[in-house]
Every structure is written in structure tokens, then in C-alpha cells.
Amino acid sequence: MTALIDPFQRKIEYLRVSVTDKCNYRCSYCMPEEGAHPEGRYTEYLDYDEITRIIKAFSELGVWKIRLTGGEPLIRKNLPQLVQQISALPLVTDIALSTNAEHLAEQALALKEAGVTRTNISLDSLDPVKFERITRGGNLNKVLAGIDRAFAVGMTPVKVNMVVMKQTNFDEIPTMLDYALDKGINLRFIETMPIGTAGISVMDEYVSADQILEIIKHHVGSDLLPMLDKQEAGPARVYRISGSKAKIGVISAVSQHFCETCNRVRLTARGELALCLGQEDMVDLRTPLRAGVSDDELKNIIIAAIARKPERHHFNENRHNIQFRQMVSLGG
């Protein structure tokens, strides 16, 4: 089996798959208030068979970890069907889900039975009024019910991601820590990233990972213990908490990039392969797929694409002027 090795000797083993760029939320750092298609333009998404075929090609090139994302993946119809198709691929051993969790309570069991192993949930506030304002209409109670349901069906570990914003939710870090400790959640605090007009618009609320970590240490004290398992940590600096199942991580996408260990690429809902979250370069897979390429030809296109993967993003250097696609279109 051919391994996917990029020009900087990083082994690509992880594919994030966006199944839609639509979302029922309008989080300020992710999507413009008018939505992903304000002018009514709509470009056809890959169907489930096409997505499965692309994932199969990636799996035969060494990718074993798949994350389904969006937009909000749970608003695409019959998502468990796609999960079943992916889980039938013998070389895929990990299928995760990223979601805002508003519809997770009613779908968690079907997704778990279809093959989803674990979930990441976006939760930027535990204050219902503030949560509704950040998401422009989200329902906190439904999200919390979705988190509880994910635990109940065994979709674990449950990870919760909080994008920290200075004037919006920075003061909630201790509250979120207490919630994670009580539930046994893996909590990730994430720096805001200047992606698209939505992301750039909130960079005046940027809080560095070191500032976040200072608050965590002050709140948790000596019970905060660093973890050394880099495979589990991924891009985060991760800590365990003495006496709790919770794990706390800080992701420093802007202040301290982790590009040297990047093992992932992203497939958009429209079949474009994004090689880096912070670069504009894309490779179209949908057009050759629909033109009838063979499986071997598809894999050769993927191999050639990975040869173009850049060494690193440039968030920190260009945080005030870069204009990439919206975060919601890239799958996070």
C-alpha cells in the first residue's frame, strides 16, 4: 500500500470530509450572518457514493482516520447511510463527527450504530443568552442534551471545543472548566483564526493560547498535569486533571503553529481537496470523478495533490489581511 507523504515528509493519515457547507447556526467567527450562499448560488455537493469512493481511494493510500464535518453535518439527510458506507471500508478504522449538536440527541444512536466512534462538539458558552447571540439563534438546551446523549450511546470520548473571544466568552473559561470536570469531557480551548470575512471580523477579540492557559492554571491549580501522548493530543497541548476523567487542551493555531506535525487534508462538500486550512490552494476531485476516472487514476490525482501541500500556514503574519474561503466551507 502506497503511503501519502508530502514534500516535508509528513505522513497523511487523516481526512476531514465536509458533507455540507450549510449550517443552522451562524457563529460569528465561522459564517457570515447571511449564510454560506447569500446570493442564492448553490453548487452541487458530492453524493454519498462519490464521497465513499474518494475515501476508499484515500484509505488505500494510508488514510485510516475520517472525520465528518460541515457546515453542520447533521442537517444533511440520511447521514447514517454515509457512515455505514464508510465503515464498510476495511482500511478505515476511525470515524469521528464534528457537530454543533443541536440535532445530536435524536441522531446519536443511529450514527453510533452506523459506525461513528466519537464526536467533537462546538460549545462557546454555557450562558443561554450569550450562546444564542454567538450562534445567532442556537438553542443551548438542545446542545447540552446532545452532549448527554452522545455519552449515553457511547460515542466517546466526547470532545467540546470552545473558541475563546476576549469580549465575548473569555470570562467563561472557569465555568467551562467546571462543566468539563463534572461531565468528564475532553475540553479544547481554541484561538480565533483569521479565516474568511467572518474569522477576520472577530480577530480584534483574539486571545492567545498562553493567556488561556494562564486562566486554566489559576483555576485548576496543581491538579493540572501535562500529558505526553502526542498521538492523542493532536494539535493541542493537553493536560489531565487529577481526580477527573476530563482532559483539557489548548490549540494555538495562530500564536504557535503546529504545522510540522500536520497529518491531515480536507475534502469540501463540493469535492475540492483543501491542502491547508490557512492556504487557498485547492484540487478539484469532483470533475475528474464525474468524467469517469479509474480508481488508480483517482489515486494518482490525490498523490499529485499531496505533493503540493505547503509547509505551513501564515495566520500570524497575515492575520489582518488574508481573505480565504469562509471557515464553514472548509470543514474546520
Question: What confidence score (pLDDT) does residue 231 get?
Answer: 52
Q: Are 303 and 283 in contact (CB under 8 A)?
A: no
Between CA 117 and CA 242 the distance in angstroms is 26
* Residues 6 or more apart in contact with residue 144 via CB below 8 angstroms: none
Neighbours of 264 (CB within 10 A): 20
Domains with residue ranges and CATH for the chain: 14-324 (3.20.20.70)
C-alpha cell at position 128: 443561554
Average of pLDDT values for 82-94? 98
Strands 14-18 and 264-267: parallel
Residues 215-260: pLDDT tens digits?
A: 999 999 988 899 876 555 467 889 998 888 899 999 887 766 668 8
Please tell me the predicted confidence (pLDDT) of residue 170. 96
Question: What is the C-alpha to C-alpha distance for residues 227 and 234, in angstroms, rounded to an integer?
Answer: 12
| CA 193/CA 172 separation, integer angstroms | 19
SS3 204: helix
Q: pLDDT averaged over the chain?
A: 88
What's the rounded Cα separation, in Å, for the pair 239 and 215? 14
pLDDT for residue 136: 92
Nearest to 237 by CA among 254, 257, 219, 252: 252
Asked if the model's pLDDT at residue 72 lies above 70, the reply is yes
Cell numbers at residue 10, please?
A: 509528513
Q: What is the rounded CA–CA span in Å between residue 243 and residue 181?
A: 9
As a whole number, mean pLDDT of residues 278-301 equals: 93
Report the C-alpha gap between 35 and 259 in whole angstroms: 30
Name which residue leads in pLDDT, 76 or 310: 76
Q: What is the pTM of this model?
A: 0.90
Q: Are 270 and 45 contacting, i.e. CB atoms less than 8 angstroms apart? A: yes
Under 8 Å between Cβ of 184 and 244: yes
35-60 residue pLDDT tens:
655 444 556 899 999 999 999 999 99
What's the confidence (pLDDT) of residue 2? Answer: 74
**For residue 58, with 0-12 CB atoms within 10 Å meaning exposed, 13-18 middle and 19 or more buried, which class applies?**
buried
Q: Name which of 13-22, 263-272, 288-297, 322-331 the model is least confident about.
A: 322-331
Q: Enter the C-alpha cell of residue 300.
A: 494518482
Confidence of residue 7 (pLDDT cuts 50, 70, 90): very high
User: Quick one: which of 179, 189, 170 has its CA closest to 147?
Assistant: 179
One-letter amino acid identity for 7?
Answer: P
pLDDT at 101 over 60: yes
Q: In what order do the strands lie in the sheet with 264-267?
A: 224-226, 237-241, 247-251, 186-191, 158-164, 118-122, 94-99, 65-69, 14-18, 264-267, 272-274, 282-284
pLDDT tens digits, residue range 154-195? 999 999 999 999 999 999 999 999 999 999 999 999 988 766
Q: In sequence order, what are the beta bridge partners of 95?
A: 66
Task: Kindly state the helix (H) or strand (E) to which residue 304 belongs, with its residue range.
Answer: helix 295-306
Question: Which one has a higher pLDDT value, 88 or 2?
Answer: 88
DSSP 137: S
